[in-house]
Amino acid sequence: MLSNNKTKDVLLLVIFAVFVFSGPILMTPFGAAYPDLLQKFAIFGLFAIGFNILFGLTGYLSFGHAVFLGVGSYSAVWAFKLFSVNVIPALALAVVMSGIFALLIGFVSLRRAGIYFSILTLAFAQMSYNLAYSVLTPITNGETGLRVLRQDPRYLDAAFGAEIGAQLPPPSLFGWVMTGWSGFYFCAIMLVLGFALSMVIFRSPFGMTLRAIKSNQNRMGYTGFNTRPYLLSAFVISGMYAGLAGGLMAATDPLAGAERMQWTASGEVVLMTILGGAGTLLGPVLGAGLIKYFENIFSSYNTSILNDIFGFLPDSIQYVVVEITSLFVGEGWHLTLGLLFMIVVIFLPGGLMEGFTRIARIKGTASSKGVANSPQRDVVAESEIKATPSNTQPAE
Amino acid sequence: MEDIVLHIDDVHKHFAGLHALSDVNLDIRRGETHAIIGPNGAGKSTLLNVCIGRLEPSQGKVLFEGTELTGKQPHQINQLGVVRVFQTPEIFEDLTVLENVVIPMLSKRDGAFSLNFLSRLDDQADLEGEAVKMLTDLGMGAHLQQMTSALSRGDKRRLELAMGLVQHPKLLLLDEPTAGMARADTNATIELLEQIKGTGLTIVIIEHDMHVVFSLADRITVLAGGRVIAQGTPDEIKGNPKVIEAYLGEEPV
Ligand SMILES: Nc1ncnc2c1ncn2[C@@H]1O[C@H](COP(=O)(O)OP(=O)(O)O)[C@@H](O)[C@H]1O
Ligand SMILES: [Mg+2]
């Protein structure tokens, strides 16, 4: 009764995995079935799943999570340069380094709650972004970006006597290369594992404690909880997810640049999570997919494509329609995204997942035995987004 | 020598010139039910706030089983076994009734922090069983899966009580546990508190309802204007002219 029963969770996980692995087929009608884009879905899905463990469960809104994405990418590229083209050291280093960064940034930022916490994380992110371009150029290679070169030492590979041909091989897992479709399937496995871990966290006493902190942090103190280490753990876990996502970015395209840490990237994961449904298991993945889809598909439309689409209309009407719709595509895809975001936030404050729950409830009212036991229980429970936890100190 | 659980030593609390508590000395004996009564604004809730670390006293200190509470964090005080039930319900509105009761059980079982994210909540049959029993005893068995935001005021009070009781405190501080309850619920609560009292738990209860006070309390302390004006057994308090005077103008008791 305290959470979904195991069978339902396993079922949800299996369905999720089936959807993810059949992405190449399912996405064909949407024109999105190519590996580069599907990889992005998976990588940003992971990023958002991790972000949701902080924001969705505790309500602490970080505006600087892209730092960990950047740290993950730089660490992975350095591992490719220094150790091996194998992704294991790279991803491990990405997760560990981003975890360390998250520990430091979280330790300081979590001294404050609410908007002050958000501002602190944003400040750290901007600081890291600027440092990457200035003082830290020896590590980040500044504006050129950090890339893997043929003459890099790769001590591990050298120690095992691996031969490098005339061309630098792409990152791989014992021959499983990280490019094209095989790269997608590797990211998909990571996404499913990341989803499974987040499900475990959601259903655990730790996860419920985080939700209680979001609901009433003050009361948690009088209930015997030291909330600070809980929040810091959630912060570090979500930072490590971001680091893994950043590491995967570097694995599928061995190049790291500071723009990955820009505040727009931090803001993007906030949008993904809210759009899909903060505090729900599936929402962040949906939001990530949707935003990456818009970014790639809508932005590739231009007037000539639109003219083709609306070619059946009389010329004058076609002209007007194309003029209007062209505002929403190409460079204007942000406008479409902005409108979509506004509509969702106003009408579905619980994100797309709230929409699905509502539909499911309308369809299933006859048979439903109360929302508490439905597979989407946590969707319903957290349909109201509290951007920040209550921060009221005991009044004096 | 009596066994003193809570020792409140010369506590003062000022709010920008307002003396909410002045020179309060109070000893709570082990196993007793001690009622604190007094008119509205007398400083009763403030006294509990000082005890649980919500407020720092301006002067004086509070000792629990010899340990100084003053300066400790609220969660440390709770972990010592001092549990407060709030006057205005401070429950977790985004959680179900059952989850609200399990949360305090977790901090009791696992301590102030535990990175317990590999076990599943629904595998903790012991926690769930006790929580369900507590809620059923309190007449809330039908609301287990409800979101607490949908509860009536009386039910929220009972939930508050359940959240305190499941922690099996050494010292239970109750702030007007029956306020806002219907008569029948009040009687049920008295019965429950009598049961708890029977287990030997030390209880401090702030209460307006004299029916509750006189049926439960072993000793009574009367606060007025932030000062202790009388202390004694229920019979001594009933006949005390100072107490009658302090209550003049208040609703008849
Ligand atoms: N946090 C606070 N800040 C300022 N004044 C307070 C605060 N808490 C209580 N007071 C004041 O202290 C006095 C005692 O309040 P309280 O302890 O709540 O009384 P009661 O005996 O009714 O529980 C009241 O005058 C109240 O207004
Ligand atoms: Mg009061």
For B205-242, the pLDDT digits (tens) are 998 888 889 889 999 999 999 999 999 998 888 888 88
Q: What is the identity of the amino acid at A318?
A: Q
Give the 3-state secondary structure of A295-363.
HHHHHHCCHHHHHHHCCCCCHHHHHHHHHHHHCCCHHHHHHHHHHHHHHHHHHCCCHHHHHHHHHHHHH
Contact B121 A204 (CB under 8 A): yes
Q: Which two tokens stand for residue A319?
A: 């002209």
pLDDT score of B122: 84
CATH code of the domain covering residue A156: 1.10.3470
E-assigned strands of chain A? 146-147, 172-173, 176-177, 255-256
Ligand number nearest CA of B223 is 1
Residue B80 has pLDDT above 80, yes or no: yes
Per-residue model confidence as pLDDT tens for chain A (396 residues): 676 688 899 999 999 999 999 988 888 888 888 899 999 999 999 999 999 999 999 999 999 999 999 999 999 999 998 888 888 999 999 999 999 999 999 999 999 999 999 999 999 999 999 998 888 888 888 888 888 887 888 788 777 777 777 677 788 788 787 788 988 999 999 999 999 999 999 999 999 999 999 999 999 999 999 999 999 999 999 999 999 999 999 999 888 888 888 888 899 999 999 999 999 999 999 999 999 988 888 888 777 777 777 878 888 888 888 888 888 887 788 888 888 888 888 888 889 998 888 888 887 664 443 333 333 344 433 333 333 333 333 333
Contact A381 B147 (CB under 8 A): yes
pLDDT score of A3: 67
Residue B147 has pLDDT above 70, yes or no: yes
**ipTM score here?**
0.90
B115 touches chain A (CB under 8 A): yes
A103 touches chain B (CB under 8 A): no
Distance, CA of B121 to chain centre? 28
In a domain, A324, yes or no: no
A154 touches chain B (CB under 8 A): no
Q: B12: burial class by Cβ within 10 Å (0-12, 13-18, 19+)?
A: middle
Summary mean pLDDT of chain B: 89
Question: Count of alpha carbons within 13 Å of A121, Cβ hemisphere only?
Answer: 32
- Which H helix or E strand runs over B83? strand B82-85
Widest CA span of chain A, in angstroms? 72
In a domain, A102, yes or no: yes
In a domain, A318, yes or no: no
pLDDT score of A375: 36
**Quick one: CATH architecture of B1-73+205-253?**
3-Layer(aba) Sandwich (3.40)
Q: How confident is the model at residue B202 (pLDDT cuts 50, 70, 90)?
A: very high
Give the 3-state secondary structure of B160-189.
HHHHHHCCCCCEEEEECCCCCCCHHHHHHH
C-alpha A306/C-alpha B131 separation (Å) is 61
Taking the domains of chain B in order of start, what are their residue ranges?
A: 1-73+205-253
Query: Nearest Cβ partner of A3 from B15, B106, B121?
Result: B121
Q: A105: burial class by Cβ within 10 Å (0-12, 13-18, 19+)?
A: buried
In a domain, A387, yes or no: no
Which residues of chain B does A214 touch, with a Cβ-Cβ cutoff of 8 Å? Answer: 94
User: Could you give the number of structural domains in chain A?
Assistant: 1
B49 touches chain A (CB under 8 A): yes
Strands B18-29 and B219-224: unpaired
Which residues of chain A does B45 touch, with a Cβ-Cβ cutoff of 8 Å? Answer: none
Give me the residues near ligand 2 (ion), CB cutoff below 5 Å: B 45
Q: What is the identity of the amino acid at B9?
A: D
Q: What is the identity of the amino acid at B87?
A: Q
For B121-130, the pLDDT digits (tens) are 888 888 999 9
- In sequence order, the β-bridge partners of residue B62 are B8
Q: Are A72 and A244 in contact (CB under 8 A)?
A: yes
Write out the residue range of the structural domain in which residue A77 sits. Answer: 2-262
Ligand number nearest CA of B49 is 1
Residues 6+ apart with CB under 8 A from A291: A44, A268, A271, A272, A275, A337
Say how many Å lie between the CA of residue B152 and the centre of ligand 2: 20
pLDDT score of A371: 37
